[in-house]
């Protein structure tokens, strides 16, 4: 059967229009997901690109969003021709992870209260005795020097002056030495209580909280054929 040129031209226009309509039936989807490291799965396929704008065919599309320590989120999105849909979503932390954070903070606070702060207090208390012993040594040296000057004095005024200096330096020496010894004694007693408290703490303390992250793939079956003579096969099945 002979096809007339006008009929053929009309058929071409109809077919071209139909294909043009089909190829133009696309829409855009823009998304901003937090955290930025979130895994995005579209219609069963992982998105390798991190672009924020994707061109999709019209129709319904299924999205799955997931990130470590976050709840898995999934939704269906209807794409219309020449439309732009924006998805803004922040993945929430899982209840298990939030509880882990609470337990970890409580664990660290108790450790700080029972171990770190008392240790720093002991270090400060013990170190505070050092300057008093240093001052005691200085006044002791001055007291000895005043004795030498007292013995070498030739007039009554100088004798009385060096005698007064000796008494003053000796009293300051004894005072600083007593304070230093008192601080050392107090540090020793506190150290004993601290060690006793540490022993009690480590005997009764709970283990450090741990958190096991749930992987993105809920169920993964991996099998390798043991038949090395024939065809080597490796099958990986991932189910969501």
| pLDDT confidence tier of residue 50, bands split at 50, 70 and 90 | low
Q: How many CB atoms lie within 10 A of CB 64?
A: 17
Q: Select the highest-mean-pLDDT range: 23-32, 38-47, 180-189, 228-237.
A: 180-189
Average pLDDT along the chain: 78
Q: Give the length of the chain.
A: 240
What's the pLDDT at 15? 52
Alpha helices in the chain (DSSP H): 5-23, 95-111, 117-152, 156-204
With beta carbons less than 8 A apart as the criterion, state whether 63 and 38 touch. no
pLDDT in tens, 91-144: 999 999 999 999 999 999 999 998 998 888 888 888 888 999 999 999 999 888
The first and second tokens of residue 39, run together, are 């895994």
Topology given in CATH for the domain delimited by 26-93: Immunoglobulin-like (2.60.40)
DSSP one-letter code for 6 = H
Query: Per-domain residue ranges for the chain?
Result: 26-93, 96-204
d(CA 210, CA 101) in angstroms, rounded, equals 9
d(CA 220, CA 239) in angstroms, rounded, equals 7
* Look-up of token digits 């600083």: 176
| pLDDT confidence tier of residue 221, bands split at 50, 70 and 90 | very low
Task: List all residues 6 or more positions away from 224 whose beta carbon is below 8 Å from its beta carbon.
Answer: 233, 234
Q: Is the pLDDT of residue 234 over 50?
A: no
């Amino acid at each position: 059967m002979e096809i007339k040129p006008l009929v053929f031209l009309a058929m071409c226009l109809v077919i071209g229009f139909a294909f043009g309509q089909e190829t133009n039936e696309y829409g855009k989807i823009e998304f901003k997901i937090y955290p930025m490291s979130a895994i995005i799965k579209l219609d069963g396929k992982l998105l390798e690109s991190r672009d924020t704008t994707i061109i999709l065919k019209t129709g319904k599309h299924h999205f799955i969003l997931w990130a470590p320590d976050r709840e898995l989120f999934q939704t269906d999105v209807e794409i219309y021709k020449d439309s732009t849909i924006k998805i803004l979503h922040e993945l929430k932390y899982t209840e298990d992870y939030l509880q882990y954070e609470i337990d970890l903070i409580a664990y660290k606070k108790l450790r700080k209260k029972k171990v770190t702060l008392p240790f720093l207090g002991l270090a400060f208390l013990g170190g505070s005795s050092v300057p008093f012993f240093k001052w005691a040594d200085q006044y002791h040296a001055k007291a000895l020097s005043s004795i030498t000057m007292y013995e070498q004095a030739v007039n009554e005024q100088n004798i009385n002056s060096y005698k007064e200096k000796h008494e003053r330096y000796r009293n300051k020496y004894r005072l600083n030495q007593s304070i230093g010894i008192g601080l050392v004694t107090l540090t020793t007693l506190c150290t004993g209580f601290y060690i006793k408290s540490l022993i009690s703490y480590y005997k009764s303390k709970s283990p450090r909280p741990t958190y096991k992250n749930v992987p993105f793939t809920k169920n993964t079956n991996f099998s390798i054929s043991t038949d090395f003579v024939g065809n080597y096969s490796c099958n990986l099945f991932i189910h969501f």
